[in-house]
Structure 1
Amino acid sequence: MEGKEEDVKLGANKFSERQPIGTSAQTDKDYKEAPPAPLFEPGELKSWSFYRAGIAEFIATFLFLYITVLTVMGVTKPGTSKCSTVGIQGIAWAFGGMIFALVYCTAGISGGHINPAVTFGLFLARKLSLTRAVFYIIMQCLGAICGAGVVKGFQGSHSFDVQGGGANVVNHGYTKGDGLGAEIIGTFVLVYTVFSATDAKRNARDSHVPILAPLPIGFAVFLVHLATIPITGTGINPARSLGAAIVFNKGHAWDDLWIFWVGPFIGAALAAVYHQIVIRAIPFKSRA
């Protein structure tokens, strides 16, 4: 029994997020506001759970890019009609469904971000430290690059390039301003849903909320893709856009890449401010 107890202690996330996605932030029905995470927690760098969480983010983002970009490749394959493939709705389901599954799988380990914009939004809300936020974003980007790379290996360089590599670009008929606006609003929807689905106050009162958290998050991704695939192919995830752009490595993908970083980060910041100040009124509570 002693050995088992020690294993549990070593495996526990000693430096966890203040509000992990999909997990209850409270142990009882009496709600208490969690303290903000410090900007830097030196002890995290010595904890295995910190690196385990980063590995979980890497693997989750790798699998996310692998499934989604491969789905995009199937739809854009030359000589096939979109009617004979999963189509735009299928692409949207692939993105939303994978987020649902991966958030469910990794929520208890890393919080299941799988997106630098989500990590950034939660950091602004002081749900995790700067150390953890930077580490997560690096691991997410590396996972995305590897995921897109495996798809290119399956498809072959020529076929991968002909089909656009799943890279995000502003489509013909839309301006860069249109693309930036679509990315801001789309990411706002996603990150706002993340905050709402993982609200510690709701978790304290409704035990079913942590269990269902991955569902609205995945569904938000699905709906945003339905709306914005015609405009930008839908980024709302800087790691996804970076991974596809690096592996595709063509001029137009690089030209528009800034949109898929600036837009999601602005959208995430707006969602964090809206939820913390307007919905939860946390700054006013702290004054009181």
Structure 2
Amino acid sequence: MKNYLAEMFGTFVLVFIGCGSAVISGGDVGFLGIAFAFGIAVLAMVYAIGPVSGCHINPAITVGMLFAGKINAKDAGGYIIFQIIGAILGAGVLFLIAGGHADYDIAINGLGQNGYGTGSPNGYNMQSAFIAEVVLTAIFLLVIFGVTHKDANVKFAGIAIGLALTMIHIVGIPISGTSVNPARSIGPALFVQGLALTQLWLFIVAPIIGGILGALIWKIIKPVG
């Protein structure tokens, strides 16, 4: 249960800070600032809860770890459930705070939700969003497997993982708002409803495929021994 609660807290922080940077300060910091907010949130959580749960805070990572044999199915299920709960709580708290501004309208300003087509920040279509989410998630998983390998300097793993998520967001935000994390997408979509909820399937399916692909690539290239 400590592991599950750690995953819930970590995912809460990721959604609250990452999506919060888009909703509250996006006009000031731009895409680059939002990318760093997501990356720094993960970096901080790796060191905060990594010793407890391994800091997945992402169902795509958990599925990738399951595929790679690094977590059992029971724990993977528990991780994913509590990650989603944490994401919903993070989006809910953000909504309560954002709603305190007279000019905020969730239908107009959103909640940092992901989307494609008219839901994409720069108008990218479904195919572009799907491919980007698969590829970016696979890259992220490959980094995680590499920097947490026994032959790597794991003390710096959090920095590498945080910066990897930052670079992924720099590319992905204009395309889809960057998910690479089904829980991160589920939380805001449940509050925004409408198009965000209709398009949510892509941000569940594509990152899961990407997570499995990243695990598969790692199995092929990982060091022997």
Q: Same fold (TM over 0.5)?
A: yes
Identify the residue that residue 124 of structure 2 maps to in structure 1: 174
Is 2:202 the counterpart of 1:259? yes
Instruction: Write out aligned runs for 1:179-198 (5 A).
Output: 179-198=129-148
Which of 84, 105, 121 in structure 1 is aligned with 2:64?
121
Identify the residue that residue 159 of structure 1 maps to in structure 2: 105
In the alignment, residue 214 of structure 1 is paired with which amino acid? G
Q: Helix, strand or coil: the match of 1:57?
A: helix
Identify the residue that residue 11 of structure 1 maps to in structure 2: none
CA–CA distance in structure 1, aligned partners of residues 85 and 73 of structure 2: 18
Shift of 1:94: 0.2
Cα deviations by residue, 1:111-151 (Å, 9 ceiling, x for unpaired): 01111111110110000110000000000000000000001
Identify the residue that residue 77 of structure 2 maps to in structure 1: 134
Report the structure, 1 or 2, having the larger helix content: 2
Instruction: Write out aligned runs for 1:78-157 (5 A).
Output: 82=27, 85-156=28-99
CA contact (8 A) 2:24 2:98 kept: no
Structure 1: stretches of 5+ with no match in the other structure? 1-50, 77-81, 204-208
CA contact (8 A) 1:73 1:160 kept: no
In the alignment, residue 264 of structure 1 is paired with which amino acid? P
Shift of 1:68: 1.3
Is 2:174 the counterpart of 1:224? no
In the alignment, residue 144 of structure 1 is paired with which amino acid? A
CA–CA distance in structure 1, aligned partners of residues 222 and 45 of structure 2: 27
Shift of 1:75: 4.0
In the alignment, residue 216 of structure 2 is paired with which amino acid? V
CA–CA distance in structure 2, aligned partners of residues 133 and 116 of structure 1: 8
Identify the residue that residue 74 of structure 1 maps to in structure 2: 24
Identify the residue that residue 35 of structure 1 maps to in structure 2: none
CA contact (8 A) 2:115 2:176 kept: yes
In the alignment, residue 120 of structure 1 is paired with which amino acid? V
- Alpha carbon RMSD of aligned pairs, Å? 1.5
- The change in CA–CA distance for 1:214 and 1:52 in structure 2 (over 3 A counts) is same
Q: Helix, strand or coil: the match of 1:180?
A: helix
Q: In terms of mean alpha carbon deviation, does 61-70 or 119-128 score higher?
A: 61-70
CA–CA distance in structure 2, aligned partners of residues 99 and 155 of structure 1: 22
CA–CA distance in structure 1, aligned partners of residues 208 and 164 of structure 2: 17
Name the larger-Rg structure.
Answer: 1
CA–CA distance in structure 2, aligned partners of residues 190 and 210 of structure 1: 16
CA–CA distance in structure 2, aligned partners of residues 126 and 180 of structure 1: 26
Q: Helix, strand or coil: the match of 2:51?
A: coil
Identify the residue that residue 186 of structure 2 maps to in structure 1: 242
Shift of 1:178: 0.7
CA–CA distance in structure 2, aligned partners of residues 240 and 104 of structure 1: 20
Cα deviations by residue, 1:40-71 (Å, 9 ceiling, x for unpaired): xxxxxxxxxxx100000001111111111211
- In the alignment of these two chains, the number of paired residues is 218
Cα deviations by residue, 1:201-245 (Å, 9 ceiling, x for unpaired): x14xxxxx1210111111110000000111000000100000010
Instruction: Write out aligned runs for 1:19-30 (5 A).
Output: none
